[in-house]
């Protein structure tokens, strides 16, 4: 019995570790996105090409080293994976469109609203939400607001609405992923989810009816970097999502905000106040509470 508990705790620790690592790679998205825009890449082109790069890299790895994973899926499970990918693709288009109109720090803040959407979607589906999760959620949201306090200037409202809509689709994608990955190993689901995501953003880019704009070497380097971080972050996130569930994954993923803010400070010259750093510590503490489990819910 003790061995079973120890094994279960070890699985949970690995899931938390995978999710934390995924937030590091996800946190690069707004920074690399800003670099791409500075090199003349448009939002839909960026979303389409970085996802295409990610899919090619992922399928290349699977065809060389992981073919066995591709055989373990039914048609019903495949359709579920494609649905998750399509939702994530729509969210990607909204995200990069919003990012083009906002600074990286403010965009990162608005993106964290997906936590609220995950709670809303799961509560609507009848899943119980424990008191510890509500406390952690309250701390996390408080930390997020403090982190973004003291900002100068008014936000671009269209950009803000696009980021809020992106957060909603990301939250729904996490909830759908929790349901799908209950029956499908994350290693099997990931390539199909990313493929559906690539098809979705690719069709949207084609629908614009415009040729791809000239892209410099620096722009292509940024796109490649985004593709690599997309592959790694999705693999790690889906591996953690299957074990932790939507709310737990969403709360831990708030660390993505801290990563983005630090990178924005170092690479984009954005400055944070002492109060905002205190908010970051509160946010980190709320995530560290994930090491504890609640007998009353998630």
Residue 143 lies in a domain: yes
CA distance 92 to 52: 13
CA distances from 252 to 15, 20, 110, 159 (A): 11, 6, 16, 25
Number of domains composing the chain: 1
**What pLDDT score was predicted for residue 283?**
66
Residue 91 lies in a domain: yes
Cβ within 8 Å of residue 251, ≥6 positions away:
115, 133, 136, 137, 140, 286, 287, 290
**pTM for the full model?**
0.79
Residue 3 lies in a domain: no
Residue 95 lies in a domain: yes
Residue 146 lies in a domain: yes
CA distances from 286 to 58, 81, 142, 281 (A): 33, 31, 10, 9
Residue 10 lies in a domain: no
* Sign, Cα dihedral of 250, 82, 27, 24: positive
Range of the domain at 57: 15-291
Residue 226 lies in a domain: yes
**What pLDDT score was predicted for residue 7?**
46
Task: Walk along the chain (298 residues) in steps of 10 and give the mean pLDDT of each run.
Answer: 55 77 89 94 95 92 81 84 92 94 84 76 68 73 66 68 88 80 77 93 94 92 93 78 66 80 88 72 65 41
Residue 7 lies in a domain: no
- Alpha helices in the chain, H assignment, sequence order: 2-26, 29-38, 43-65, 75-99, 104-111, 114-124, 131-147, 157-180, 186-207, 217-244, 246-252, 255-267, 274-288
CA distance 127 to 298: 9
């Amino acid at each position: 019995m003790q061995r079973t508990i120890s094994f279960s705790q070890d699985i949970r620790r690995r899931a938390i570790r995978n999710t934390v690592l995924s937030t590091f790679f996800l946190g690069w998205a707004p920074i690399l996105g800003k670099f791409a825009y500075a090199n003349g890449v448009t939002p839909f082109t960026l979303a389409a090409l970085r996802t295409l790069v990610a899919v090619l890299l992922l399928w290349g790895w699977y065809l060389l080293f992981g073919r066995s994973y591709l055989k373990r899926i039914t048609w019903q499970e495949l359709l579920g994976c494609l649905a998750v990918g399509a939702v994530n693709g729509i969210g990607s288009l909204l995200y990069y469109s919003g990012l083009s109109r906002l600074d990286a720090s403010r965009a990162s803040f608005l993106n964290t609203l997906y936590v609220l959407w995950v709670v809303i979607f799961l509560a609507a589906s009848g899943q119980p939400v424990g008191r510890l999760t509500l406390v952690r959620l309250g701390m996390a949201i408080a930390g997020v607001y403090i982190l973004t306090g003291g900002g100068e200037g008014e936000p671009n409202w269209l950009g803000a609405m696009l980021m809020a809509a992106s957060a909603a689709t990301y939250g729904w994608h996490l909830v759908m992923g929790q349901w799908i990955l209950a029956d499908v190993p994350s290693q099997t689901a990931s390539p199909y989810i990313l493929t559906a995501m690539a098809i979705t953003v690719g069709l949207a880019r084609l629908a614009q009816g415009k040729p791809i704009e000239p892209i410099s070497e620096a722009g292509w380097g940024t796109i490649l970097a985004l593709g690599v971080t997309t592959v790694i972050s999705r693999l790690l996130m889906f591996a953690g999502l299957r074990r932790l569930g939507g709310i737990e994954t969403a709360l831990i993923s708030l660390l993505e905000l801290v990563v983005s803010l630090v990178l924005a400070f170092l690479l984009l010259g954005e400055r944070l106040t002492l109060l905002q750093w205190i908010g970051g510590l509160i946010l980190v503490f709320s995530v560290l509470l994930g090491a504890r489990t609640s007998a009353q819910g998630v």
